[in-house]
Structure 1
Amino acid sequence: MSTYRLVLILCLLVPALLGGCREQRQDASISVSVRDSKVAPPVERPPQELLTTQRAFSEVSQKVTPAVVNIQAARVRRVPQLGPMFEDFFGELFKRHPQRQQQTKSLGSGVLISAAGYILTNEHVVKGAEEIKVKLADGRIFDGELIGTDPDTDVAVLKITANEELPVAVLGDSDTLQVGQWALAIGNPFGLDSTLTVGVISATGRTDVGIEAFEDFIQTDASINPGNSGGPLLNIYGEVVGINTAIVASGQGIGFAIPINLARLVAGQLMENGEVVRGYLGVGIQPLSPALAESFGLDRATGALVNQVLADSPASAAGLRRGDLLLTYNDREISGVSSLQLLVANTPAGGTAKLGILRDGQRLELTVTIASREGQGATADATEAVEDQQARKAGLGLTVIPAEGGGVQVEAIDPEGDSARVGIRPGDLILAVNQYKITDLSSFEQAVQDIKQAKYVRLLLKRGNSTLYLAFPAS
């Protein structure tokens, strides 16, 4: 083939190849929806319910976000100038060496609850802070004044002073919350301002979580991350129903918020007095085991069992007795020990409360005047027991001996018996068996005989300075 023919063939092929490449590039282009009348979205008509819910979420965010603030707390701590390695190696020699100061900062959230500039947040957000900066959603930054804190509930109140009007959130009623309702959290997780997350109310009245002294948490699966602490938990109406406070680090979708009704009570005292004064009843209480509940004739373990009434206390003045079962407080059901403690703590000193109790199978109502918790004792006098090697009785899987001052003391326990299983210990004083008061060996022996037909054995014990009830099935 001549050179002329080869050049001619190439001239004919190159345009065709280039045209094919252009066609391939056109086929690979990405279509873009301009959302006009000519281009319809992939889903033309989403369910109206979804659009309504979406608009509700957006409206809540628009209305409440301006009242949510970013809190930066600065703390100063002293650190060794030469580093921990030298301090560990040289010991006391370098512990006396001058230390340098190091500033640390933590981020949290808060919510404006008053046009006067009061902010509700968590105590742990501002704990130990030497300088507090508050940043609003519109970018304004203020110095924060710490009004007061309550570590027992993890509530704190700050205040800022502004010349312009401040946005304020609306507080709702956390007592009306129901599981399954929408829950929206707004805060500043990891410093990301004005972040909205959505979930539901997973549970209410969570106690024994082990976070605070007084617990009544709202549980939610709305995402709560570091930096969200102190921010509001909202209902679909945009009302604050909780203050976000904690998460379960090892889980997913398990967050906790302080009910706003509790936070409001604490904040009110902090704003008025700078501290919180709690109510005091003056009883020792314990939870009910299923066996104890059945021994009282209950179909479920609820309420709080009084195992001690302190002298000269509000409980004593109201006529409460050891062995009373507290079921309601101001017509609110007492679900357990933590529930009663929180109800009493939130009652102001001098206030009255109606107690619904179960005594000897009869339901009664008592009225008690709550005192201040400040300066009150919580223990009774100790009773010592002296062993008498010559006199002892056996029964209920126990060997007992006389106790100094009356009653009997547990000397030995059948390790295979029910007494050992429920936790009775040597040295425990037996004060009562079912309804029978134990004063000596004879009364113990008689009580053991009289309860042979009973379904359950309920013992009132004294252990150290405390009294408690234990129960087990009668054999």
Structure 2
Amino acid sequence: MKIHPEFQGRREREYQPVRNDNATPPAPLADTTPVEDDALLDGYSRTVNAVVNRVAPSVVNIRVESDGNRGGGGSGFLIARDGFILTNSHVVHQGRKFEVTLHDARVFPAQLIGEDPDTDLAVLRIDAPSLQHVRLADSGTIRVGQIAVAIGSPFGFQQTVTSGIVSALGRSMRAESGRLMDDIIQTDAALNPGNSGGPLVNSAGEVIGVNTAVILPAQGICFAIASNTAQFVAAWLIKEGRIRRSAIGVAGQNVPLHPRVVRFHRLPQDRGVQIAELDAHSPAARAGLRQGDIIVGFKGHAIRNIDDLHKRLVASEIGVPSPIMVLRQTEKVFAMVIPEELQRPPK
């Protein structure tokens, strides 16, 4: 018997099959609705992606030529629309020719504006149109555990991104010049050779540090120079091409103090800096200091080691009479020293 087409669908809907609990349920139909790419990212991934989109156009690859040969290179990032690039001093040190590759593959020659080996920072400049620069954050607001994203060119692979967190704050490390660098940020965002000079960025896309070093063979222990330090140094390098510091003309070594001397003079520390060498024409010599004296105070601040003394000998002390306290054998001696500008040997 033929069923009229008008009733075919109705008969099928009214028909109720016998239930079989052992039957295998039909597989669900695949959802063919298009999914936007952003929907595939979780919150953390979206944050990192947004940071990269905002900062990556400002990150550059730096190639350095020394004495006619390729000497290596690293990373850097634009800090101003007029072409100023911040990077590490050890990336550009002793370089004779510099070449910068932008994120869009444009290549420009660069000029070294200045470098400061004591903070491992340097500034280059390129003459190029349509430049996008980053914003430096206040590193004093950084908190341990916040997101940290590193962008750079490890092993020459441009625009490489790694992410992690701020692991610790206030670390200290030794610059290649031998001077102690303070206020260093520790992060577990992976860094490799070539990342040096690239930015360490927060979740708002602001630079919180300049990537500078890793500890090998350890994993997840990497360091960056805090943005507040970088901003201060970069401003002086752009203005004068160098950082001015003061000096008193001594070479010293850290030595322990005798407990009886510490108690007798009521000193707040048990160590000081013994003058091992003294330039006869130095500010220290003119102040009456002698070889063998132990420096224990400068302008009311305790001096426990050479790094304490370096911290006090800043540019503002140049030409300023400053009280210094030394131990001469068991006697406490006060003198007035006038620091001079530190003169570095030519490259």
Report the TM-score when normalising by structure 1.
0.51
Name the Cα RMSD after superposition. 4.5
Give the structure 1 partner of residue 82 of structure 2: 116
Give the whole-Å Cα distance in 2 for the aligned partners of 1:237 and 1:294: 55
Equivalent position to 2:98, from 132, 135, 144:
132
Gaps in structure 2 of 5+ consecutive residues: 1-25
* Contact 1:229–1:244, Cα closer than 8 Å, also in 2: yes
Give the structure 2 partner of residue 199 of structure 1: 165
Give the whole-Å Cα distance in 2 for the aligned partners of 1:235 and 1:294: 50
Equivalent position to 2:239, from 267, 272, 277:
272
Give the structure 2 partner of residue 257 of structure 1: 224
Residues 88-136 of structure 1, C-alpha deviations (whole Å, 9 max, x = no match)? xxxxxxxxxxxxxxx4363410111222211111233234444322122
Give the structure 2 partner of residue 168 of structure 1: 133
Give the whole-Å Cα distance in 1 for the aligned partners of 2:141 and 2:336: 26
* Contact 2:123–2:238, Cα closer than 8 Å, also in 1: yes
Give the whole-Å Cα distance in 2 for the aligned partners of 1:365 and 1:201: 43
Change (3 A) 1:250 1:160: same
Give the whole-Å Cα distance in 2 for the aligned partners of 1:340 and 1:60: 40
Give the whole-Å Cα distance in 2 for the aligned partners of 1:226 and 1:203: 23
Give the structure 2 partner of residue 227 of structure 1: 194
Change (3 A) 1:334 1:325: closer
Give the structure 1 partner of residue 273 of structure 2: 305
Give the whole-Å Cα distance in 2 for the aligned partners of 1:352 and 1:35: 71
Change (3 A) 1:248 1:340: same
Give the whole-Å Cα distance in 2 for the aligned partners of 1:275 and 1:153: 11
* Contact 2:175–2:181, Cα closer than 8 Å, also in 1: no
Change (3 A) 1:304 1:323: closer
Give the structure 1 partner of residue 55 of structure 2: 64
Which stretch has the larger CA shift, 120-129 or 225-234? Answer: 120-129
Q: Which residue identity is paired with 2:59?
A: V
Change (3 A) 1:312 1:212: closer
* Contact 1:188–1:228, Cα closer than 8 Å, also in 2: yes
Deviation at 1:370, TM superposition (A): 3.5
Residues 112-162 of structure 1, C-alpha deviations (whole Å, 9 max, x = no match)? 122221111123323444432212223332221222334444332211012
- Map residues 2-401 of structure 1 onto 2, 5 A cutoff: 51=43, 54-75=45-66, 103-104=69-70, 106-164=72-130, 166-174=131-139, 179-194=144-159, 195-207=161-173, 209=174, 211-216=176-181, 218=184, 219-289=186-256, 292=258, 296-297=262-263, 304-305=272-273, 307=275, 313-314=282-283, 322-326=293-297, 336-344=305-313, 346-348=314-316, 350=318, 352=320, 369-374=338-343
Give the whole-Å Cα distance in 1 for the aligned partners of 2:271 and 2:134: 36
* Contact 2:272–2:296, Cα closer than 8 Å, also in 1: yes
Deviation at 1:301, TM superposition (A): 5.8
- Give the % identical residues: 35
Change (3 A) 1:223 1:311: same
Residues 321-356 of structure 1, C-alpha deviations (whole Å, 9 max, x = no match)? 944523x7797x867422432442x42463659779
**In structure 2, the residue corresponding to 1:64 is in which secondary structure?**
helix
Change (3 A) 1:284 1:75: closer
Give the whole-Å Cα distance in 1 for the aligned partners of 2:260 and 2:166: 36
* Contact 2:273–2:294, Cα closer than 8 Å, also in 1: yes
* Contact 1:173–1:261, Cα closer than 8 Å, also in 2: yes
**In structure 1, the residue corresponding to 2:105 is in which secondary structure?**
coil
Change (3 A) 1:302 1:270: farther
Give the whole-Å Cα distance in 1 for the aligned partners of 2:207 and 2:333: 38
Deviation at 1:182, TM superposition (A): 4.2
Q: Which residue identity is paired with 1:189?
A: P
Residues 219-247 of structure 1, C-alpha deviations (whole Å, 9 max, x = no match)? 33221111101112234444333322222
* Contact 1:318–1:366, Cα closer than 8 Å, also in 2: yes
Figure out how many residues of one structure are paired with residues of the other and give that number. Answer: 307
**In structure 1, the residue corresponding to 2:180 is in which secondary structure?**
coil
Q: Which residue identity is paired with 1:138?
A: D
Change (3 A) 1:121 1:283: same
Give the whole-Å Cα distance in 2 for the aligned partners of 1:201 and 1:236: 15
**In structure 2, the residue corresponding to 1:216 is in which secondary structure?**
strand
* Contact 1:107–1:190, Cα closer than 8 Å, also in 2: no
Change (3 A) 1:375 1:231: closer
Give the whole-Å Cα distance in 2 for the aligned partners of 1:223 and 1:139: 24
